[in-house]
Chains A and B, each alone.
Chain A
Amino acid sequence: MDMSDDRRRADGERAAPDLDAQLRDVIDDYMGHFVPDPEQTAGIRERILHLVRNDLYRGPSTKLRTDEGHEYSIASTAVRAIVRDAVDTVDGIRARSVRIVSAGEPYGSAAEVALTVTMRADTHVVTSADEIRTAVSEALVRELGVPASRIDIEVEDAYVE
């Protein structure tokens, strides 16, 4: 469904190809009258994202525990964002899915992470996996104060820049 501009233009030019030329002109006129302007789309975008963020605040949370033993909850989306951002710092790697569950003894003093990534075609898997684990571990300690007790990484796809 992601049509290139060239194809769209070509398709526009042959809209209703078997209709006579005059009717095609009218249809082209009609199409031309309904082209969104950037101001219009910007307003809709803001409204959509406002509603989406409001919905997000009602999402699930993850229970964790500080190294002093104090239990706290944080939005699961926020924890995932921390992990995603850490993964994205590794050259040639983009995070896709991030799953985090509380772990450790006492419960919540550590986190188990399972993530899927997409990898640039020329990236070395083993080296990158080490870098991902380091980046994620450091981010969890730095941002949340909990270590990662396990980090599973699955390479789901490769991409070419």
Chain B
Amino acid sequence: MDIVTLVVRAREGDVDAFASLVDRYETKLLRFCMRTLGDRQDAEDVVQDTFVQAWKSLNALASPEAFGTWLYRMASNRCTDVLRKRVSRPSDPFDPEDFGAHADDRASVEKRVEARSALERFAQVFSTLSSEQRVTWVLCQMEGLSYAEVADTLGITEGSVRGRIHRARAAIVEGMKGWT
């Protein structure tokens, strides 16, 4: 069923239509939130809250065909909130254990240790980016959205997207010096 029909039905209380929307977007949204927040539990909470907020405010969505962009914008805003709260209440969201061991049998132990160290370092560097830079970076560099799509999703200009990506990239390259 097309997205407009699903959204129109859902906003009139059709739970099955809303369930189809959840099925269509949940995995993508969860992956985006996990990569942005670096924490599975926080990501699950954001996804759940985003969908429930979407359900309650579907009537505010003027263009049903824009449901996906609207959903990502809400999730991005919630991720930004979570990251800002972390700054005010410092914690280490990146538990090294989360990264586990690499399953590549061909790699030597030494290489695996190196790769894991680099990954943990990247996670540390990534956590120092501003919340806006992280959300923008993940949407663009990890989820594959174009600058225009990211701008539309976040409600900012393409120039702002470029600026955030540029600053994030510079910080990552600087932070990873000697690790790659």
Query: What is A's interface to B at a CB cutoff of 8 Å?
Result: 1-3, 7-8, 10-12, 15-16, 18-20, 22-23, 25-27, 29-31, 33-36, 40-41, 43-45, 47-49, 51-53, 55-56, 59, 75-77, 80-81, 84, 94-98, 116, 118, 157, 159
Q: Place the interface of chain B in its size category.
A: 35 or more
B61 contacts partner chain A, Cβ-Cβ < 8 Å:
no
B172 contacts partner chain A, Cβ-Cβ < 8 Å:
yes
When the two chains form their complex, are residues A34 and B35 in contact, meaning their CB atoms are under 8 A apart?
yes
A residues within 8 A CB of B24?
A: 2
Contacts known (A15-B142, A40-B30); A45 close to B23, Cβ less than 8 A: yes
B residues within 8 A CB of A16?
A: 141, 169
A contact face: mostly helix, strand, loop, or mixed:
helix
From B9, B52, B145, give the contact of A96 (CB < 8 A): B9
* Shortest Cβ gap from A144 to chain B (Å): 16
When the two chains form their complex, are residues B15 and A15 in contact, meaning their CB atoms are under 8 A apart?
no
B residues within 8 A CB of A45?
A: 19, 22-23, 26
A residues within 8 A CB of B176?
A: 23, 26
B residues within 8 A CB of A40?
A: 30, 40, 44
A residues within 8 A CB of B22?
A: 45, 48-49
In Å, the complex CA distance between A157 and B30 comes to: 31
